[in-house]
Amino acid sequence: MYKLIFTLVLAIASYVGLRAQEFQGIAVYESKTSTADFKTQMEGNKNMTPDIQKMIEERMKKMFEKTFILNFNKSSSIYKEEEKLEASAQASAGMRMMSSMTGGGGTLYKNVKEKSYTVDKEFMGKEFLVKDSLTNLNWKLESETRIIGGYTCYKATAVKAPSTSDFRNFRPKKEESKKEEDKKELGKKEPTKPTEEKKTNFMDAIELPKEITITAWYTPEIPVNQGPESYWGLPGLILEVNDGKTITLCSKVVLNSKDKVEIKASTKGKVISQKDYDETVIKKMKDFREMNQGRGATGGMPMRFGG
């Protein structure tokens, strides 16, 4: 009798484990980043014509509005930008680089069981395979709820250091920071030119904050600790993330579709840690900035991202 009970329990456990492995879901996310700060900077640039400003605004809008697909199971996921036909047809090295620096580009693989991630990135014509440990955010679970896509979601907040290789994290430079830099640059002497003519580089007006506050909404109705981008670690699928500038919202969820997707990490590119990749991007951007210092039409920041 005991052998029969043990056999039944083992069979049930094996079946449940098998079903858990087979469980898959698809979540579609729409990501939008506010460009109001950049628009303000462009409006303050007297060297920029209205036509150039309009062209840049349109290109920035395309860069900062993206659709992503998250394929997930109980332990891992892959997160990738949905390719648009017109974008793939006109893709260039510059376009792919900017896509990579604004949240897109490559396939992000997260394994929450092993607490690791792998993402392939292309930057300055080189392919990198970033491998590192997932950041374990200290989430604060709150009682506030809201409905997203028919699912009851709960609010959670956390504070984290922003990625230095993600252009979306930059913010307008505070006046105090500007004044301090002006003093260092001018040796505490009065500028010989009017202030509005002194700025020649777009990058001089922005900076990376030390930390940003993340607000997430997750649903326990889908019991996986996955989410968009690098977010994870909540008792339910994250359906919305807001970092104060970029909002990533889930627009569709499909559970246990008949069409299964192979969830595995990419293998192409030079293996590198996140820290080393960020340092590589920072160095290249500094070189890029110095090379373009003094160009007036776009505030020293070329805006040719395609073609």
Q: What pLDDT is recorded for position 284?
A: 80
Q: Does any domain span residue 2?
A: no
Q: What pLDDT is recorded for position 197?
A: 44
Phi, psi of 60 (to 5 degrees): -65, -35
In 136-273, where does DSSP find H-type helix? 175-186, 195-198
Q: Does any domain span residue 1?
A: no
Q: Does any domain span residue 151?
A: yes
Across-strand partners of 117? 110, 132
- Asked if 208 and 251 touch (Cβ cutoff 8 Å), the reply is no
Number of domains the chain is built from: 1
Q: What pLDDT is recorded for position 8?
A: 41
Q: What sign does the CA torsion over 217, 219, 225, 229 have?
A: negative
Q: What pLDDT is recorded for position 123?
A: 83
Phi, psi of 94 (to 5 degrees): -65, -40
Q: Does any domain span residue 13?
A: no
Q: Does any domain span residue 205?
A: yes
Per-residue pLDDT for 281 more than 90? no
Q: What pLDDT is recorded for position 184?
A: 57
Residue 73 DSSP SS3: coil
Residue 267 DSSP SS3: coil
Following CA atoms 93, 306, 70, 163 in sequence, which dihedral angle do they give, to the nearest 10 degrees? 70
Per-residue pLDDT for 269 more than 50? yes
Q: What pLDDT is recorded for position 196?
A: 46
Phi, psi of 55 (to 5 degrees): -65, -45
Residue indicated by tokens 């009017």: 194
Alpha-carbon span 120 to 199, nearest angstrom: 36
- Containing structural domain, residue 27: 22-291
Q: Does any domain span residue 189?
A: yes
- Asked if 129 and 118 touch (Cβ cutoff 8 Å), the reply is yes
Alpha-carbon span 63 to 275, nearest angstrom: 25
**CA distances in angstroms from 89 to 55, 86, 92, 128, 204, listed in the order given:** 20, 5, 9, 23, 34
125-141 burial, b if ≥16 CB within 10 A, otherwise e? eeebbbbbebbebebee
Question: CA nearest 78: which of 224, 264, 268?
Answer: 264
Q: Does any domain span residue 245?
A: yes
Q: What is the pLDDT of residues 27-86, one digit of tens each?
A: 999 999 876 655 555 555 666 667 666 666 666 666 778 999 999 999 999 999 987 665
Alpha-carbon span 159 to 139, nearest angstrom: 8
Q: What pLDDT is recorded for position 25?
A: 96
Q: What pLDDT is recorded for position 5?
A: 42
Q: What is the pLDDT of residues 189-245, one digit of tens each?
A: 555 555 444 444 555 666 777 889 999 999 999 999 999 999 999 999 999 999 988
Q: Does any domain span residue 305?
A: no
Q: What is the pLDDT of residues 93-122, one digit of tens each?
A: 545 555 555 445 689 999 999 999 999 988
Higher pLDDT, 7 or 295: 295
Angle, CA of 32, 38 and 39, to the nearest 5°:
95
How many residues appear in the chain?
307
Residue indicated by tokens 């939008």: 32
pTM beyond cutoff 0.75: no
Higher pLDDT, 221 or 295: 221
Mean pLDDT value across residues 251-271: 92
Q: What is the pLDDT of residues 131-156, one digit of tens each?
A: 999 999 999 999 999 999 999 999 99
